[in-house]
Amino acid sequence: MTDDKKIMFIDGKEVEFTNEPNLLEVIRKAGMNVPTFCYRPDLTPFGACRMCVVEVEGRGIQSSCTMPPENGLKIHLNTEKTRRIRKTVLELLLANHDKECLTCEKSGSCELQKYSEEYGVRRIRYPEKKLEDYLPVDDSSPSLVRDPNKCILCGACVRACDEFQGHAVLGFANRGSKTVVQPMAGKPLGQVDCVNCGQCAAVCPTGALTIKSDIENVWSVITNPNKKTVVQIAPAVRVALGEMFGLKAGTNTIGLIDAALRKLGFDLVFDTNFSADLTIMEEASEFLARLKSGENLPLFTSCCPAWVKYLEDQHPDMLKHLSSCKSPMSMLSPVLARLVPEKLGIKRDEMSIVAIMPCTAKKFECKRPELSTDGHPDTDYVLTTKELGRMIKSAGIDFNKLDAETPDNPFGEYTGAGTIFGASGGVAEAAVRTAYEFATGEVLENIDIKEMRGTSNRSKTIQLDLKGTKLTVRVVSTLREAEIAIREIKEGKADFQMLEVMACPGGCVNGGGQPHSCDNSAIKQERAEGLYKEDEELPLRKSHCNPSIHKLYAEYLESPNSHKAHEILHTVYTNRFEYSYKNI
């Protein structure tokens, strides 16, 4: 054994460790585990729930998520003391918990339910919460439902909101037995400046924070014989949905998704990757025009609805920097709303447009009044990846045994540039692939801009050369990093001409509507790699090479950034600052 080798002993097994931040990570690295509610690898350890206790020889009972590893420690995971403590914690939590498990949104995936079963909790020795002490359920948000009666005060949502978004919409209030987690000033979630990113729900171990479901609304239109149902699927969905059916994270299941959607009853199945290509045509043209004029630089990408709302809420003076392009979802929907009824010989109100998204903020986006035509929302309903998985299961479809199918054309043809939109850095990389060729008239040979990739580094600055024109691109994920970039701009220190922002850590692959394994922070990287793999395998990898996009312009949109294109594909934004603070 070398002098610098560090080892400890876990249940008698010698385990080597290196730079793990705590005992819990060493335990997991060794292929073992202890239960926890409050620990999430991407968040600061909190040590609140006391479920991850272990017995350390010479040290007694310790919280494994907060104790750093030390050479020579001897640790025992499942002693009489640790099991008794965990079971007591579970009983205390259940005594104060709404136990309507069968009707809970998280039933079957609730960690409190899971551990109560594993530890054989069959009776509760402590006085249970009285009915009159129950608090009202908050469903005021378009994206999320908050049930304080199912909260176990683990603090994961509070830390996610603060550490990812720097926003602190949620926080602890009161003291002792009256302690609750609630939005600021005790207001409903829909009345504060929540950006609807859903990361709070993603880390919540119980049903205290869940996605507001549109499943029944979508079933109602699918089964309505007087409705034609049209669906579009976002890039990140294809590399995450398979996890709900036992497949490895990053497995591209788009062919199976297309087949499943048709079995569910959708009449036409399209791919949002198509409109990601369309977005690049508009955004790259817009960027080059700004670069030439020198006005309103840096250009901010506008695909992430949580980021857009954050600017509207907190920095309305910076909205001039935001691209006027709609998101890919909100570009494709109005195109479908205009062209599909014409093709099928039906009226718009005889058709419903559904979008499958990795993002809870898309539920907010589809309700924005500016994203409607003649008073009718361009996108009728948004389902998250998790909601689609539930629909497939409830319909009795054996997902893994489906024969792969392809989307309908012409709005199902896409390039690799459209695919990589789902990962942090993907929008900027796709834009540069097209902007380079638009600006220089030359073919970009080396199109893999790997410096823009990666889900662990939340801020990257990349230097590029457009044949003599130097270009600096900043890529950030999380609004905390976006805020740093905004401060640099306001202080005159920014050296970049384009800023790509995705609110969720790692981008849409880690969106609030995706299946989550909060104990494995590598999953988002595996999903991103699945997108880049599809990009590499596709015959066309630049958005402006998509023949269906050229056809759409020739027959309908005229040209990128034309008056017709602006009418359908671009939008305006709202100064929400005054409204937000008036409601505090």
How much is the pLDDT for 268?
Answer: 97
Per the DSSP assignment, residues forming a β-bridge with 170 are: 183
CA distance 389 to 229: 18
The percent helix, strand, coil of the chain (3-state, each to 5) is 45, 15, 40
Under 8 Å between Cβ of 355 and 234: yes
Tell me how far apart the terminal alpha carbons of the chain are, to the nearest angstrom.
61
The reply to whether 164 falls in a domain is: yes
The reply to whether 524 falls in a domain is: yes
Closest C-alpha to 189, from 129, 136, 133, 111 = 136
Running DSSP on this structure, what letter comes out for residue 127? P
> Are 456 and 506 in a shared domain?
yes
For 36, 125, 129, 134, 573, the CA distances from 98, given in Å and listed in that order, are 20, 16, 8, 8, 40
Running DSSP on this structure, what letter comes out for residue 109? T
Helix axes 111-118, 80-95, angle to 10 degrees: 130
> Are 284 and 302 in a shared domain?
yes
How much is the pLDDT for 578?
Answer: 60
Peptide bond connecting 505 to the previous residue in cis, omega within 30 degrees of 0: no
Domain at 559, CATH number: 3.40.50.1780
For 176, 203, 222, the CA distances from 199, given in Å and listed in that order, are 27, 6, 29
Residue 198, Ramachandran bin (φ over 0: left; ψ between -120 and 50: alpha; else beta) = left
Stated as kind and residue range, the H or E segment containing 469 is strand 469-477
Closest C-alpha to 477, from 512, 433, 508 = 508
Running DSSP on this structure, what letter comes out for residue 271? E
The reply to whether 584 falls in a domain is: no
CA distance 53 to 302: 44
> Are 190 and 221 in a shared domain?
no
- Give backbone dihedrals phi and psi of 404, rounded to 5 degrees, phi first: -60, 140
Residue after which a domain boundary falls, among 78, 101, 132: 78
The reply to whether 83 falls in a domain is: no
> Are 203 and 267 in a shared domain?
no
> Are 543 and 417 in a shared domain?
yes
For 27, 312, 403, 485, the CA distances from 318, given in Å and listed in that order, are 46, 9, 48, 12
> Are 468 and 498 in a shared domain?
yes
Ranges of residues in the chain with a pLDDT under 50 are 1-2, 580-584
How much is the pLDDT for 320?
Answer: 96
- Give backbone dihedrals phi and psi of 502, rounded to 5 degrees, phi first: -125, 130
CA distance 220 to 335: 23
Closest C-alpha to 440, from 291, 236, 220, 569 = 291
The reply to whether 582 falls in a domain is: no
> Are 265 and 396 in a shared domain?
yes
The reply to whether 575 falls in a domain is: no
> Are 14 and 62 in a shared domain?
yes
Residue after which a domain boundary falls, among 46, 78, 110: 78
Domain at 22, CATH number: 3.10.20.740
72-100 burial: b if 16+ Cβ within 10 Å, else e: ebebebeeeebeebbeebbbebbebbbbe
> Are 162 and 301 in a shared domain?
no
Residue that the structure tokens 């299961």 belong to: 393
- Give backbone dihedrals phi and psi of 187, rounded to 5 degrees, phi first: -80, 160
The reply to whether 64 falls in a domain is: yes
Residue-wise pLDDT tens digits, 245-280: 999 999 999 999 999 999 999 999 999 999 999 999
Q: What angle do CA 404, 408, 412 make, to 5 degrees?
A: 90
The reply to whether 581 falls in a domain is: no
> Are 422 and 445 in a shared domain?
yes
Structure tokens at 322: 């935001």
How much is the pLDDT for 242?
Answer: 98
CA distance 114 to 131: 24
How much is the pLDDT for 489?
Answer: 97
For 16, 28, 48, 526, the CA distances from 20, given in Å and listed in that order, are 10, 10, 20, 21
Q: How many domains does the chain have?
A: 3
> Are 144 and 171 in a shared domain?
yes
> Are 333 and 273 in a shared domain?
yes
Domain range spanning residue 223?
216-569
CA distance 306 to 494: 22
Domain at 110, CATH number: 3.30.70.20
Q: Which residues are catalytic?
A: 283, 286, 303, 323, 362, 365, 370, 508
Give this prediction's pTM.
0.94
For 213, 216, 365, the CA distances from 223, given in Å and listed in that order, are 18, 11, 25
Residue after which a domain boundary falls, among 29, 57, 78: 78
